[in-house]
C-alpha cells in the first residue's frame, strides 16, 4: 500500500480491525449437520442390533413350532408361546423400521435447516464485510468534504481569488503546496476563477499544465458555483482527470468567498483532487477474505446505475455491472441475491452506504462470489 493509503487508514478509528472474521454461525451450522448425521448413525446401529435379536427370535420361534408339532398334543401350549414370539418379532421389526424411517426423515430435515443456516450465515458475513468497506470509505470521504470547506476560507486563497496578481498567485501556490505536504492523499489543489480558468495550483512543477486549464464544464466546478454558502460543497465522482495526467480522482470543491466569510460573495472556486486509487481499490483489497474466498470473490463499489467506481483491479473502473433484481437489492440497506451475469452464476452480498456524520456517498458495496 502506498503512503497515501496508509495515511487514510491511520485516520480512521480502527475500522479494519473491526472487520468480522469467519463467523461462528457457519461453524455451528456445520456442527449441527455433523451432529444429526452422528445421531442417525447411532440410531441405525441400535436398530441393527434390534434386527439381529429379532432374527434370533424368529429362528427360535420356528424351531419351537417344529418341536411343538413333533410333541403332538403335549406340545400345544409350547406352540402358542412360539406363535406369540413370532408375532412379537414381527411387531418389533415393523416398529424398528418405522423408527429408522422417521429418524432418516428428521435427520434430512435437520440437514436442510442446517444448510440453510450455513448459507444465511455466509451471506450475513459477506454483507458485514461489504458494509465495513463502504463505511470506511464514507468515513474517509467525510474528511475530504471538511477539508475543502476549511481550506476555502484560507486568507491566501481569498486574496488570490479577489485580486489575482503575480504576488498573490505565487503566494497561494506556495500555500497550497504547504497543505499538500501534510495531506498526501491529494494529487493537487487548484484555484479557479469564476469563469472556470485555473489560476493557481499547489504542485506547479508536477502538473505544469494545470494553470490555464478551463474547468467550467466540470461537475465539481459547476456544483460549487451553485452553492449558497461556504458551508456547502461541490463534488465530482470518480473520473480520470486531465489536471493530474489522467489519474483517477474524486474532486471536492467549495466556493472561495469575500473575507473568507461563509456568507460572503463568491469570488472563486477551490478544487481538491483526491487520489482515489489509494482509497477505493486499496480498501477492497484489504477485505479479510480467506485464500479460497479471494480466488472466487470480486469486491466492487458501484453507484446506483451499477457503474464500477472501485475494484481491486483499477483497470475495471468505469465498467458497468447489471443483473436481475439489482434495483430491488439496492433499495435495501443490505441483502444478498443470486444472479447470472454473462453466463456466470454469482451470489451477490450488498451493503448500501450508511453515511458518517453529515456525509454519505450513496454508493453500494458488493461482494460477488462465483458459484460452482
Q: How far apart are CA 195 and CA 191, in angstroms?
A: 11
Predicted pLDDT of residue 33? 64
170: enclosing H helix or E strand: helix 166-182
Predicted pLDDT of residue 4? 36
Strands, E, within the chain: which ranges?
186-192, 198-201, 234-241, 247-257, 266-275, 297-302, 308-311, 334-341, 344-352, 364-370
Q: List, edge to edge, every strand of the sheet that includes 234-241.
A: 198-201, 186-192, 266-275, 247-257, 234-241
Q: Fold match between 20-139 and 283-370?
A: no
> Residue ranges of the domains in the chain?
20-139, 152-278, 283-370
Residue with cell 503512503: 3
Alpha helices, DSSP H, located in 231-366: 280-285, 291-296, 326-330
Predicted pLDDT of residue 91? 72
CATH topology of domain 283-370: Beta-Lactamase (3.30.450)
- Residue 308 phi, psi dihedral angles, 5° rounding: -75, 120
Q: What confidence tier does 27 reach under pLDDT thresholds 50, 70, 90?
A: low
CATH topology of domain 152-278: Beta-Lactamase (3.30.450)
Local structure of residue 307 (DSSP, 8 states)? B
Work out the percent of the chain whose per-residue pLDDT is above 70: 76
Q: What confidence tier does 84 reach under pLDDT thresholds 50, 70, 90?
A: low
* Span 126-178, pLDDT tens digits: 999 999 999 999 999 999 999 999 999 999 999 999 999 999 999 999 999 99
Say how many Å lie between the first and final Cα of the chain, rounded.
32
* Span 73-83, pLDDT tens digits: 655 565 666 66
Q: How far apart are CA 169 and CA 15, in angstroms?
A: 40
This prediction's pTM: 0.75
Q: What confidence tier does 28 reach under pLDDT thresholds 50, 70, 90?
A: low
CB atoms within 10 A of CB 95: 12
Q: How far is CA 139 from CA 188, 288, 311, in A?
A: 21, 19, 19
The residue-averaged pLDDT of 202-216 equals 98
Predicted pLDDT of residue 372? 76
The residue-averaged pLDDT of 310-332 equals 94
> Is CATH 2.70.98.20 what the domain over 20-139 is classified as, yes or no?
no
Amino acid at each position: 500500500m502506498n503512503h497515501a493509503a496508509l495515511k487514510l487508514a491511520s485516520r480512521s478509528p480502527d475500522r479494519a480491525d473491526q472487520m468480522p472474521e469467519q463467523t461462528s454461525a457457519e461453524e455451528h451450522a456445520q456442527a449441527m449437520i455433523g451432529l444429526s448425521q452422528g445421531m442417525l448413525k447411532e440410531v441405525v446401529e441400535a436398530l441393527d442390533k434390534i434386527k439381529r435379536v429379532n432374527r434370533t427370535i424368529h429362528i427360535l420361534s420356528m424351531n419351537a413350532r417344529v418341536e411343538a408339532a413333533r410333541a403332538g398334543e403335549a406340545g400345544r401350549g409350547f406352540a402358542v408361546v412360539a406363535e406369540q414370539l413370532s408375532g412379537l418379532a414381527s411387531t418389533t421389526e415393523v416398529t424398528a423400521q418405522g423408527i429408522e424411517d422417521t429418524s432418516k426423515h428428521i435427520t434430512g430435515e435437520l440437514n436442510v435447516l442446517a444448510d440453510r443456516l450455513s448459507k444465511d450465515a455466509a451471506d450475513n458475513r459477506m454483507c458485514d464485510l461489504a458494509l465495513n468497506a463502504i463505511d470506511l470509505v464514507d468515513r474517509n470521504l467525510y474528511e475530504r468534504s471538511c477539508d475543502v470547506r476549511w481550506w476555502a476560507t484560507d486568507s491566501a486563497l481569498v486574496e488570490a481569488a479577489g485580486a489575482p496578481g503575480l504576488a498573490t498567485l505565487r503566494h497561494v501556490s506556495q500555500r497550497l503546496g504547504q497543505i499538500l505536504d501534510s495531506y498526501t492523499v491529494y494529487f493537487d489543489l487548484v484555484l479557479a476563477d469564476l469563469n472556470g480558468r485555473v489560476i493557481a495550483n499547489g504542485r506547479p512543477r508536477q502538473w505544469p499544465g494545470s494553470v490555464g486549464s478551463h474547468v467550467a464544464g466540470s461537475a465539481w466546478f459547476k456544483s460549487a458555483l451553485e452553492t449558497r454558502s461556504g458551508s456547502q460543497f461541490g463534488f465530482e465522482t470518480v473520473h480520470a482527470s486531465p489536471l493530474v495526467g489522467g489519474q483517477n480522482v474524486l474532486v471536492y470543491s467549495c466556493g472561495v468567498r469575500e473575507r473568507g466569510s461563509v456568507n460572503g460573495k463568491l469570488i472563486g472556486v477551490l478544487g481538491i483532487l483526491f487520489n482515489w486509487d489509494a482509497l477505493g481499490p486499496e480498501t477492497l483489497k484489504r477485505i479479510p477474505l480467506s485464500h479460497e474466498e479471494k480466488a472466487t470473490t470480486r469486491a466492487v463499489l458501484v453507484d446506483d446505475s451499477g457503474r464500477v467506481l472501485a475494484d481491486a483491479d483499477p483497470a475495471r473502473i468505469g465498467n458497468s455491472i447489471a443483473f436481475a433484481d439489482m434495483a430491488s437489492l439496492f433499495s435495501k440497506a443490505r441483502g444478498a441475491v443470486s444472479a447470472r451475469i454473462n453466463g456466470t452464476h454469482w451470489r451477490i452480498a450488498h451493503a448500501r452506504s450508511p453515511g458518517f456524520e453529515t456525509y454519505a456517498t450513496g454508493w453500494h458495496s458488493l461482494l460477488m462470489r462465483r458459484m460452482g
